[in-house]
Structure 1
């Protein structure tokens, strides 16, 4: 396995230092994922920018959690799943919803099931989203903006799941403390 360096604010390239400090300000620590990303200021900056934009998008916190966790599950990234479960619970998303998403997504409420299914299509698309899948998503009551926001969320999580796969990122104990 390729060994990537887990950076601190002090060891990181200059252009990553403020970004890592931002992680400390947001979480109280530097998440392992960000510590690895810091090796590439462009990746860390792009990831944080995409995260901020997706956090402010047209989807609810619950819907964003479905996008993030579905992407993590499909990309086989336990780090993403666990970190976003922790974040979702902090935002007030019901633990039962998150458990359903991981264990029996077909039992989700119809609208969340539509988000889950469309996210699956986007993750698996390899650049081509089938028109029928897009139309099904719109018929479920979502908008074109919601559709494009999901593309943003999947893009953001793809950056991190690829990095976590390469680095073998370990899940912090903080992210394991979820109800």
Structure 2
């Protein structure tokens, strides 16, 4: 938890509540750190995370990763589309958003065509497996945040999801 405080400047409520299960906390922190070191570019990673966050309805993750997308220079259109669970105008980012949904919907048994389409946008077979890692890591946090009813931290209030999840 110290490293989280050092990285963010505060201890997010969700992380504090995850500590109720030290094993879950350790698993999430390790899995998310591994995901950050994958060969997926930072914007693709954030698209995957927001896809999971909105799919699972995790208000904390939506706010936190909206802030991260802003920091990465993502356009308002991309952020709003992700928050609204809509198609992205950027074909490469849309490919990872769709692929993430397909991996979940097909429990990993994606078709050869789905994999080909994903890879046709410059992603690799390694990236496809890294998507599985991202789904695992952020499924842990989104479900745990919802289960513990973790409150939104003040530093993220400006990015809180509204009813329509649109950022202005």
Name the TM tier (shorter chain): 0.7 to 0.9
Deviation at 1:122, TM superposition (A): 2.1
Given the alignment, which residue of 155, 158, 161 partners 1:177?
Answer: 158
The answer to whether residue 98 in structure 2 is matched with residue 134 in structure 1 is no
TM-score for the superposition, normalised by structure 2: 0.86
State the secondary structure of the residue aligned to 1:58: coil
Distance 1:107 1:88, change over 3 A: closer
Distance between the aligned counterparts of 1:107 and 1:121, measured in 2?
A: 16
The answer to whether residue 43 in structure 2 is matched with residue 62 in structure 1 is yes
Distance between the aligned counterparts of 2:128 and 2:27, measured in 1?
A: 21
Contact 2:51–2:85 (CA<8 Å) still a contact in 1?
no
TM-score for the superposition, normalised by structure 1: 0.81
Given the alignment, which residue of 130, 140, 144 partners 1:159?
Answer: 140
Deviation at 1:127, TM superposition (A): 4.9
Q: What root-mean-square deviation, in Å, do the aligned CA atoms of Structure 1 and Structure 2 show?
A: 1.8
Distance between the aligned counterparts of 2:103 and 2:85, measured in 1?
A: 20
Equivalent pairs counted in the alignment come to: 160
Gaps of 5+ in 1: 1-19
The answer to whether residue 67 in structure 2 is matched with residue 86 in structure 1 is yes
Contact 1:71–1:123 (CA<8 Å) still a contact in 2?
no
Which residue does 1:168 correspond to in 2? 149
Residues 94-129 of structure 1 show CA distances to partners (whole Å, capped at 9, x for unaligned) of 333211222363242110110000011123333533
Contact 2:78–2:88 (CA<8 Å) still a contact in 1?
no
Q: Of the two, which has the highest radius of gyration?
A: 1
State the secondary structure of the residue aligned to 2:87: helix
Gaps of 5+ in 2: 160-167
Q: Which has the higher contact order (CA 8 A, sep 6+)?
A: 2
Which 4+ runs in 1 deviate beyond 4 A? none
The answer to whether residue 15 in structure 2 is matched with residue 34 in structure 1 is yes
Which residue does 1:125 correspond to in 2? 106
Distance between the aligned counterparts of 1:122 and 1:160, measured in 2?
A: 18
